[in-house]
């Protein structure tokens, strides 16, 4: 595991964008696993800049996102599909048909989730998976549990996640459920890149240095052989 400490959000974003951009340069038709949240926004901005500068070409890249809220459509600014279009896809030369986000409106969510795992396999797996981390150690929406959940599935959000994310829903309407990629697809990624800001220091430390336990879902990353962690803090993990 490579653990890189940075002083600022900008530095963390630049390093993350460098790793993702390097993947695209090395394999122009790579499959990128992407994440939402405030942590990756800076990296997406830097990648857009590299595209505008003519350094990166996304025309052959395929992307799969980690998760989506149930019940929100792509015109809802809080949906993760909207987030991805708005922060990244609308600004680069990627064909949206090659970008996949679980469909939060699916009524047959079991089929939607099974098909999502099949899709990832059909794409040949994920080359590089970008991850953020929740305050409770969740990855995507894989919440703390008594076992590691492997499949993509519909989950009930925990109270702590609802509390953490309700800031994005000032007028209410915070979804109670989401579809999330499970650990089988996440860990099948050839490379994993976790990014975290200073407010996540304690949970990142617990996940990387504590016991591997489903109580801290991100701790499972200790079992993957190609993980880079880029975090912002003034002390070492
Ligand atoms: C949400 C997402 C996670 C993300 C987390 C952290 O809950 N489902 O995938 O990692 O937020 O977000 P932030 O980067 O805003 O702290």
Per-residue pLDDT tens digits for 43-100? 999 999 999 999 999 999 999 999 999 999 999 999 999 999 999 999 999 999 999 9
Nearest alpha-carbon partner for 139 in 24, 10, 37: 37
Ligand 1 atom 1 nearest Cα: 37
Res 46: pLDDT: 98
CB atoms within 10 A of CB 219: 21
Per-residue pLDDT tens digits for 17-44? 999 999 999 999 999 999 999 999 999 9
Ligand 1 atom 12 nearest Cα: 37
C-alpha span between 58 and 50 (Å, rounded) = 11
- Given a contact cutoff of 8 angstroms between Cβ atoms, the answer to whether 54 and 25 are in contact is no
C-alpha span between 74 and 83 (Å, rounded) = 9
Res 171: pLDDT: 87
Helix (H, G, I), strand (E, B) or coil at 30: coil
Res 136: pLDDT: 94
C-alpha span between 162 and 97 (Å, rounded) = 31
Cβ of 217 below 6 Å from ligand 1: no
Helix locations, 123-211, DSSP H: 159-165, 183-187, 201-209
Ligand 1 atom 10 nearest Cα: 132
Active site residues: 67, 136, 138, 143
Cβ of 104 below 6 Å from ligand 1: no
pTM above 0.85, yes or no: yes
Radius of gyration from C-alpha coordinates of the chain: 17
Banded model confidence at residue 219, pLDDT cuts 50, 70, 90: very high
């Amino acid at each position: 595991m490579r653990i890189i400490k940075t002083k600022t959000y900008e530095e963390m974003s630049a390093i993350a964008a460098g790793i993702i951009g390097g993947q695209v340069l090395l394999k122009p038709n790579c499959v990128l696993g992407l994440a939402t949240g405030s942590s990756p926004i800076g990296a997406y901005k830097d990648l857009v800049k590299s595209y505008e500068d003519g350094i990166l070409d996304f025309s052959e890249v395929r992307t799969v996102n980690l998760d989506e809220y149930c019940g929100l459509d792509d015109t809802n600014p809080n949906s993760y599909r909207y987030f991805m279009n708005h922060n990244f896809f609308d600004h680069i030369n990627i064909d949206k048909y090659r970008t996949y986000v679980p469909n939060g409106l699916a009524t047959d969510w079991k089929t939607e989730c099974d098909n999502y795992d099949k899709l990832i396999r059909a794409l040949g797996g994920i080359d590089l998976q970008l991850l953020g981390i929740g305050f409770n150690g969740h990855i995507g929406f894989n919440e703390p549990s008594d076992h590691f959940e492997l499949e993509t599935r519909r989950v009930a959000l925990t109270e702590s996640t609802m509390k953490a994310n309700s800031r994005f829903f000032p007028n209410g309407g915070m979804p109670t459920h989401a579809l999330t990629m499970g650990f089988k697809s996440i860990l099948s990624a050839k490379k994993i890149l976790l990014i975290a800001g200073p407010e996540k220091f304690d949970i990142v430390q617990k996940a990387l240095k504590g016991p591997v336990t489903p109580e801290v879902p991100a701790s499972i990353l200790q079992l993957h052989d190609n993980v880079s962690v880029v975090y912002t803090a003034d002390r070492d993990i």
